[in-house]
Amino acid sequence: MKSHYDLIAIGGGSAGLGVAIAMKRLGFTVLMIDRYDRRIGGDCLNDGCVPSKALIHVSRMVQQARRAQSFGWTMEGKTDLAAVMQYVDERREIIRVHENAAYLREVEKLDVELGIARFVGRRELEIRTGDGPGRTTSAKNIVLCTGSRPKLLNVPGVEQVKTYTNETIFSLEKLPDRLLVVGAGPIGIEIGQAFQRFGSQVTIVGTEDRILHKELSEVSDLLQKRLTAEGMEFRLNRNVKAFHGTNTVELERKNGLTERLEFDAVLVAIGRTFSFDDLNLSVAGIELDNKGRLKLNDYLQTTNEHVFAAGDAAAGLPAGQRLFSHAAELHVSTLVTNFITPGQVLDKKVNYDHFSWVTFTDPEVATFGLLEAELKTRNIRYERLDYDFAHDDRAVIEDYEYARMILFTEPAGINPFGTKILGGTVIAPNAGELVQELILAVQQKLTAGDFFNKIYPYPTASRVNKSIWVDHISDNLPGIVRKAVKWLYV
């Protein structure tokens, strides 16, 4: 280990790996620190994106097999959860081949230290691997990529109950008959649907009046109807008041009325929390806000000008928190650009205007760009386009006519072909793939005319990205233009 580096990344998750590898490939001396080899890859590899999407993949196979019974096939038996979790673990291990200390040292030529890091100065760190004295090193800049942890329930009787989070649910080997999911956000809904399809009776408990409360209400309502049709149950506008024994929960409504439910296992998905206790931040002059998050400016810089944050650790950004792996990618891109840009005048601020996310339920919910609430806050004029997939041939063929696309666009004006997209949401099978073209359109300022003039192979699912504009242009073509076209007709 060198005594001084150009950059040190503390944490080997999406953010730490991204910034460390990028800076190393640019020719800088870089050290990445993580506690354990098997924590490299962070929440995404170990407890989040990878295992949850592998779980969802298997659950969709089970559901498709179940639907095949309508066409004469028979299906018997029940889900072997141990086999499912073995598949999940196998997928993780395939990715772990290039996300481990030995690989990073050998292939990326990256310095990697396994241990606990703590500040002993403004740019100096001590790294401990045991009870003895640690080794010290320093860097021109340090990036905190320490991630987040699942928030735990703190209610009477919880100590009697075996609760799971996204960090422990993938260790289950026996399918619970009744799964109680506390939290109606993306994690709870995604994993809940998977277990429902495996054969558990899943009940979702949420404090809001709808699931996925950050999405448009009509999108949340549509998804809930689809999930209810699969057998999932919902107890919304309720708090967990207490647990009674090992299998009973007491729920409280906002009007004070209570009810009890029986369960066999509990998944807690009520949000994320942050801990910086081991880092000894005060020695480095790094401050936290009143929510225990790092105080950051728009450039991901802490109150120490040489220390930055990325990934979930950057939840205290003025622009707001985005606890996604691809948010870490955005943070890394911003940091690396600023590190190699001469002078602060040219530095980039973190900007979420083009940010997108996907909830990987079935159907998926994909959201991107500026949504209605933000457009109103900024006093940006817009129009809303609402497309019903019942008019799309591919949706009819594959039985998802219920799907919807909602776009927010510039007002059509005299030339509807010049209209640009500002943001939107799609709820449909594979919505995360369908919106990629729309995300690019927002970033590159493509117009309705660009979609109108594109010829899509028939009957691809992405033809909806043109169909919505065909309807929009037809409805907004000014009368004078229609008259001129008719006059020019030969």
368-404: pLDDT as tens digits: 999 999 999 999 999 999 999 999 999 999 999 999 9
Looking at the chain, the whole-number percentage of residues with pLDDT higher than 90 is 89
Provide the pLDDT for residue 194: 98
- Sheet containing 356-359, strands listed edge to edge, beginning at the edge strand earlier in sequence: 356-359, 364-369, 421-428, 404-409, 383-388
* Range list of β-strands (E), 68-217: 111-114, 116-119, 124-128, 135-144, 149-150, 163-164, 178-182, 201-205
Identical fold for domains 4-41+99-148+274-346 and 158-270, yes or no, is yes
Q: What is the DSSP string of 237-281?
A: SEEEEEEETTTEEEEEETTS-EEEEE-SEEEE-S-EE---GGG-G
In whole angstroms, give the CA distance from residue 248 to residue 359: 30
Q: Smallest Cα–Cα separation from 351: which of 373, 374, 372?
A: 374
Q: How many alpha carbons lie under 13 Å from residue 335 in its C-beta half-sphere?
A: 34
Share of the chain above pLDDT 70, in %: 96
**How many CB atoms within 10 Å of residue 345?**
6
| 152 phi/psi in degrees, rounded to 5 | -100, 155
Q: Domain ranges in the chain?
A: 4-41+99-148+274-346, 158-270, 363-478
Indicate the residue type of 173. Answer: E
Instruction: Give me the architecture of the 4-41+99-148+274-346 domain, per CATH.
Output: 3-Layer(bba) Sandwich (3.50)
Q: What is the pLDDT of residues 400-418, one digit of tens each?
A: 999 999 999 999 878 888 9
pTM assigned to the model: 0.94
pLDDT at 475 over 90: no
Is 484 a residue whose pLDDT tops 90? no
Give counts: helices (H), strands (E), the chain. Answer: 15, 22
CATH for the stretch 158-270: 3.50.50.60
Instruction: Return the CATH number of the domain spanning residue range 363-478.
Output: 3.30.390.30
- Tens of pLDDT along 45-82? 999 999 999 999 999 999 999 999 999 998 888 899 99
